[in-house]
């Protein structure tokens, strides 16, 4: 298991309404051509001397097995009796000790926030760093049935300073016809000054041990790097909401033969939403939204198995965390459509005029009576009304059907999806993936 490590927070990178793909990227993976693309990336990584010794010892899809049709889908290793699971934590280097991070405790929450804000994912050019808020972290780490023991920190024994962090939360993920209890692994972060201490592999083994103690043997995670072996790879797309600021902070560039005034005009949105019955989701909407979402997600090969408690937690609006809207038919009052996006700001580094990039990330969207491009354009308008600077979306689910029409541009960030101890023999296309990991 490993961090849900999103690609860089600087999407960079939309030099106009229809930018060209960077020359060093490959197409998203999934299916026959996607397997070939993955093989090429694997070979590229081997040429660079990259080895995955740790992952070659783990029950994950291995590069050497790509294309082997004799291997079955499903668990790679059977579960073992819980009594056989190692009962004591793994040993850390002598100066460090394990700690369980109680996200209900204000001081601990401040410590976790501070560690991530200064040491978590940056873009390659050190222009942006993810800045998950405390409210977001409490939402992300406390879903129904969560285990406090899965919020794992490492402290310096002498000072008690928190210097590393990794988390898991429980989930039910449906893979084809099987609903599997899993852990979603996220927020692997080691203080910059300790990156040479080899803490990460021990942390991964420790969170795996604690997950196994709850009789859970599979996990889902993402990474911005190629590991053995993605089930699919999705690309981030970016829609400018505040193009002048995005260009000023070097998130995007002014397109060829484009002026700033023409760019601002190009991305201008209506002042108000256009779909009749479009409104914010409320608590009373949880049952119909759950029904709508479950039916929609059933069409994908891999997707969460949400019940009403999950929908209430993950999708009911929370200020500065999650925004959810729906369409209530003015005639029948049925809930026919749904869209949502979460708030993930980034710190803007070394810029004299700006400190925060306010980014919206597309979450789960369902269109049945309203055309999806129209529904998502209303989501863009709602985000613009709340002063978001950019709206990001993966090309997973049915998102590809609206991206170009709504003036999204492809970024240079790819997100690789992985399963631990579960084989999906043939890679998925992004459009077969119905799962969004934070």
Q: Where are the domains of the chain?
A: 31-232, 235-414
Listed residue (46, 422, 413) closest to 233, CA to CA = 413
* Mean local confidence (pLDDT), 69-86: 91
**DSSP 8-state code for residue 249:** T
* Mean local confidence (pLDDT), 251-277: 95
Cα separation, 422 vs 243, in Å, equals 42
292 labelled catalytic: no
pLDDT tens digit string along 304-330? 999 999 999 999 999 999 999 999 999
Has this prediction a pTM greater than 0.95? no
pLDDT at 75 over 70: yes
367 versus 255: which is more confidently predicted? Answer: 367
Task: Please report how the helices 134-141 and 106-119 are oriented relative to each other, as an axis angle in degrees rounded to 10.
Answer: 110
Backbone angles phi, psi at 179, to 5 degrees: -95, 120
pLDDT at 232 over 80: yes
pLDDT at 255 over 60: yes
pLDDT tens digit string along 169-201? 999 999 999 999 999 999 999 999 998 888 999
Q: What is the CATH number of domain 31-232?
A: 3.40.630.30
**CATH 3.40.190.10 for the 235-414 domain, yes or no:** no
The pLDDT-based confidence of 55 (bands split at 50, 70, 90) is confident
* Mean local confidence (pLDDT), 134-157: 98
Instruction: Give the strands of the sheet with 356-357, arranged side by side.
Output: 128-130, 346-348, 356-357
What is the structure's pLDDT at 231? 94
66 versus 44: which is more confidently predicted? Answer: 66
What is the structure's pLDDT at 41? 53
What is the structure's pLDDT at 30? 34
Above pLDDT 90, what percent of the chain? 77
263 versus 20: which is more confidently predicted? Answer: 263
User: Of 6-10, 106-110, 125-129, where does the model show the most confidence?
Assistant: 106-110
HSE at residue 198, side-chain half, CA atoms within 13 A, is 5
pLDDT at 42 over 70: no
The pLDDT-based confidence of 123 (bands split at 50, 70, 90) is confident
* Mean local confidence (pLDDT), 217-221: 97
The pLDDT-based confidence of 10 (bands split at 50, 70, 90) is low
Residue 203 sits at the vertex; the CA angle it makes with 197 and 207, to the nearest 5 degrees, is 180
What is the structure's pLDDT at 342? 98
Same fold yes or no, 31-232 and 235-414: yes
pLDDT at 12 over 60: no
Residue 36's H or E segment, with its range, is helix 31-47
The pLDDT-based confidence of 51 (bands split at 50, 70, 90) is low
The pLDDT-based confidence of 11 (bands split at 50, 70, 90) is low
Count of CB atoms situated within 10 Å of the CB of 277: 18
């Amino acid at each position: 298991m490993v961090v849900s490590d999103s690609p860089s927070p600087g999407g960079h990178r939309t030099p106009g309404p229809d930018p060209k793909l960077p020359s060093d990227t490959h197409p998203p993976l999934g299916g026959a051509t996607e397997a070939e693309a993955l093989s090429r990336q694997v070979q590229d990584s081997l040429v660079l001397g990259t080895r995955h010794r740790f992952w070659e010892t783990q029950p994950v899809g291995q590069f050497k097995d790509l294309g082997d049709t004799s291997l079955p889908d499903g668990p790679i290793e059977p579960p073992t009796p819980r009594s056989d699971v190692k009962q004591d934590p793994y040993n850390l280097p002598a100066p460090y000790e394990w700690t369980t991070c109680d996200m209900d405790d204000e001081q601990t929450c401040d410590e976790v926030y501070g560690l991530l804000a200064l040491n978590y994912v940056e873009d390659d050019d050190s222009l942006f760093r993810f800045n998950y808020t405390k409210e977001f972290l409490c939402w992300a780490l406390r879903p129904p049935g969560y285990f406090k023991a899965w919020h794992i920190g490492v402290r310096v024994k002498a000072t008690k300073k928190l210097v590393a962090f990794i988390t898991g939360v429980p989930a039910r993920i449906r893979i084809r016809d099987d609903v599997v209890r899993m852990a979603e692994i996220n927020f692997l972060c080691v203080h910059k000054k300790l990156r040479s201490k080899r803490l990460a592999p021990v942390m991964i083994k420790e969170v795996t041990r604690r997950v196994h103690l709850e009789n859970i043997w599979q996990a889902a995670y993402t990474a911005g790097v190629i590991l053995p072996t993605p089930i699919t790879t999705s690309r981030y797309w970016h829609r400018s909401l505040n193009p002048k600021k995005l260009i000023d902070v070097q998130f995007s560039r002014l397109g060829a033969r484009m002026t700033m005034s023409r760019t601002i005009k190009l991305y201008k949105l209506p002042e108000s939403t256009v779909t009749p019955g479009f409104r914010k989701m409320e608590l009373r909407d949880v049952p119909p939204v759950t029904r709508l979402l479950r039916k929609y997600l059933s069409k994908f090969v891999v997707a969460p198995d949400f019940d009403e408690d999950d929908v209430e937690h993950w999708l009911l609006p929370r200020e500065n965390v999650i925004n959810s809207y729906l369409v209530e038919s003015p005639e029948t009052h049925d809930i026919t459509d749904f869209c949502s996006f979460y708030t993930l700001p980034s710190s803007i580094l070394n810029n004299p005029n700006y400190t925060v990039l306010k980014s919206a990330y597309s979450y789960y969207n369902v269109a049945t009576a309203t055309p999806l491009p129209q529904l998502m354009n209303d989501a863009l308008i709602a985000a613009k009304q709340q002063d978001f600077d950019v709206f990001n979306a993966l090309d997973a689910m049915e998102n590809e059907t609206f991206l170009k029409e709504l003036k999204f541009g492809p970024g240079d960030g790819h997100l690789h999806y992985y399963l631990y101890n579960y084989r999906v023999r043939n890679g998925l296309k992004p459009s077969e993936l119905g799962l969004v990991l934070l």
